[in-house]
Amino acid sequence: MTAKIKLNAASGGGSFSLQAPSSSSNNRVFTLPDSADATLLTSTTSVGKILQVVNTTTNGAASVTLTSPYANNSSYIYYITALNTSLTTTQTNSKILISGNIFGEATIDDRGTAFVISSSINSGTDTPIDTLRGPAYGDRSRVTRMMAVGHYSNDQDSSPSTTTFSNLLYEPAQASGTPITIKFGVVAIGGSNNTFYLNRTVFDGNGNAYEKGSSSVTLMEVEP
């Protein structure tokens, strides 16, 4: 039988109920504050608390050449190693919130460039995070984000973009003390030999029409 405390509202006919779980091996305590006008109800068991924050920020220029089209083949994900960000879990089954901003420009000609987020657990294989890319559907490329713009090889004009990743939830389902590395990969859509340039433009001319930038990745481990 489940225990329940029911409080009727002073007006309006509604009520507030506090119900115990049907089964629990832990003792939980709800404590009302001492101040006379307080209305907060707190629990000794916290949920969703941020356990740690890890950040990688770089303004160094780098390039990644995409020698083969992606076609959902993990072998053709080319990683931006400067943005690899690692943490070691502090609780079993904790979750990870992933945020980032990637500044850069890619050569595209008649092709497109996209990003795929992968994880490496215990220094193992780089594996795309399925919940952070599009669903499987025929031969469609499963990616996390497309780049907003690209640069054509015969065009010296600058057109870099910043691709934003905000609070993407990753649930690795690992034990406490597990090292996890989050990696941002670049893929070529429908072609090959694209090159992605991190924190700079493709032509990178020495003038105020050409930008330099910075990129960052932030991981937050959150209680289950």
Average pLDDT over residues 187-207: 81
The amino acid at residue 146 is: M
pLDDT of residue 177: 98
Amino acid 118: pLDDT: 97
Which of 105, 130, 94, 121 shows the shortest CA–CA distance to 186?
A: 105
CA–CA gap between residue 39 and residue 192 (Å, rounded): 61
| Phi-psi category of residue 153: left, alpha or beta, with phi > 0 → left and psi -120 to 50 → alpha | alpha
| Confidence at residue 194, expressed as pLDDT on a 0 to 100 scale | 81
Q: Answer yes or no: are the C-beta atoms of 181 and 119 closer than 8 Å.
A: yes
178, 88 in Cβ contact below 8 A?
yes
pLDDT of residue 73: 92
CA 38 to CA 51: how far, in whole Å?
28
Q: Is the pLDDT of residue 222 over 60?
A: yes
pLDDT confidence of residue 204: 77
Structure tokens at 117: 């987020």
* pLDDT at residue 137, as a whole number: 86
Structural domains of the chain, ranges and CATH numbers in brackets: 4-43 (no CATH), 50-222 (2.60.120.1340)
User: Is pLDDT at 155 greater than 80 in this prediction?
Assistant: no
More confident residue, 85 or 109: 85
Task: Please give the span between the terminal C-alpha atoms of the chain, in angstroms, as a whole number.
Answer: 27
Query: pTM of this prediction?
Result: 0.75
Tell me the C-alpha to C-alpha distance, in Å, between residue 76 and each of 27, 82, 128, 214.
51, 18, 11, 25
Q: Which two tokens stand for residue 210?
A: 């050409």
b/e per residue, 67-100, with b = 16+ CB within 10 A? eebbebeeebbbbbebbebebebebeebbbbbeb
